[in-house]
Amino acid sequence: GESNFPSMSARVVTLQSPDKQTFQVPWEVAMRSTVVKQMLEDLPEPGEGDEDAPDPVPLMDRSCNANILEKVLEYLTKHHEFDKTGATQENKDSWDKKYVEVEDEVLFNLILAANFLDVKDLLDLTCKTVAEYIKQCRTPEEIRQRFNIPNDFTPEEEEEVRKENAWCDETL
């Protein structure tokens, strides 16, 4: 509601997900997405006393379905608040850490949505999280189990890949 954002301008942007849900977002929060920012810069400024709400901004990429878009907006809103209140890096990090504790499918869609919407810090956060999960796995087999990836290599192909990449093991 209004009370959460006392310091924000009243200007609101309506974003529409590909599954036709709409989200009312404070202007400054929406502007944190480079893609949305570029779309909004093409819109005319609302005139004084202009009661007509501008049309919703359609986000057509399927990574932006309502459940994912809602998560992205939660991130943008929180980070907007952090900037406003001068939150410590520690506060941000601990919130971010909890934020990415989601199912893999959600995490992967957040990566796609952050990429599509061009939200660099969210893209970094989600990609680093996946990288951490991969680092915790010691073998390709563990990685496949962790992410439910079917193994489509024959044993011969796998041996071939192992030989080609033998040098990788020396760095571990």
Q: Give the pLDDT of residue 122.
A: 98
Sequence-distant (≥ 6) Cβ neighbours of residue 63 within 8 angstroms: 109, 112, 113, 115, 116
Specify the pTM: 0.78
Burial class, 66, CB count within 10 angstroms (exposed 0-12 / middle 13-18 / buried 19+): middle
Q: Name the token pair of 160.
A: 């071939």
CA distance 26 to 77: 9
Cα 133 → chain centroid: 17
Q: What is the pLDDT along the chain (172 residues), one digit of tens a residue?
A: 444 544 455 689 999 999 999 999 999 999 999 999 998 887 766 665 555 566 899 999 999 999 999 999 999 999 999 999 999 999 999 999 999 999 999 999 999 999 999 999 999 999 999 999 989 988 888 988 888 888 888 888 888 887 887 776 654 4
Q: Give the pLDDT of residue 123.
A: 97
CA distance 147 to 143: 6
Q: Give the pLDDT of residue 9.
A: 56
**Strands of the sheet with 22-26, listed across from one edge:** 22-26, 12-16, 57-58
Q: Where are the alpha helices (DSSP H) in 15-88?
A: 27-30, 34-41, 66-85
CA distance 23 to 149: 34
Q: Name the token pair of 16.
A: 């529409």
